[in-house]
Structure 1
Amino acid sequence: MVRHTISLPDPMSHYIDLQVSSGQYGNVSEYIRDLIRKDQEQKQLAINELRNLLDKAEASGISQMSMGEIRERARKRAGL
């Protein structure tokens, strides 16, 4: 295990202390590890979503519309 030292403004430090004192976490390290795990999960979900969108786009094939038609359709969908 690697030890890291960080500096936090007082309001953030107080917030962390509140999270620990609520009993939800045993100590500051548990809270920070939980935040990092949640961040990793969120980023992985975003990557998976992007991959799914790319797969759908690729599976949809090549459009027969011109670039102008595609732009116009996108503008209409966006309400512009």
Structure 2
Amino acid sequence: MNISLPEGLKAWAEARVAEGRYSSTSDYVRDLMRRDQEAEEKLRTLRAMIEEGVASGVSERDPFAYLAELRERARRGVIGSDAA
């Protein structure tokens, strides 16, 4: 695969290599593509979670009571678990 870049982007990629952050401009481009792929996967996951939340409907819970519960769980170090 060959990629044509404008001079400014080519200079930018070459500067990353010159800094020692990458072994070659190809290595730099591969890293950018991997990061883009990871970001896209995270975005898909986030969108799926948002859709799940929207589909779950409106909660009957008191939001202030729930916030207090979350704060208490955080204080006890149990945030992220299903334990109340």
User: TM-score higher than 0.5 here?
Assistant: yes
> What percent of counterpart residues are identical?
28
Normalising to structure 1: TM-score of the pair? 0.69
Give the root-mean-square deviation of aligned CA atoms: 1.0
Matched, 1:8 2:5: yes
Query: Aligned-pair distance for 1:58?
Result: 1.2
Q: Which amino acid aligns with 1:20?
A: V
Query: Aligned-pair distance for 1:29?
Result: 1.1
Matched, 1:49 2:42: no
Give the whole-Å Cα distance in 2 for the aligned partners of 1:50 and 1:23. Answer: 36
Number of aligned positions between the proteins: 58
* Structure 1 alignment gaps of length 5 or more: 62-80
Query: Aligned-pair distance for 1:31?
Result: 0.3
* Structure 2 alignment gaps of length 5 or more: 59-84
Normalising to structure 2: TM-score of the pair? 0.66
Q: Which amino acid aligns with 1:37?
A: R
Q: Which amino acid aligns with 2:26?
A: S
Give the whole-Å Cα distance in 2 for the aligned partners of 1:6 and 1:37. Answer: 17
The aligned counterpart of 1:39 is 36
Give the whole-Å Cα distance in 1 for the aligned partners of 2:27 and 2:5. Answer: 17
List structure 1 segments (4+ residues) > 6 angstroms apart after TM superposition.
Answer: none
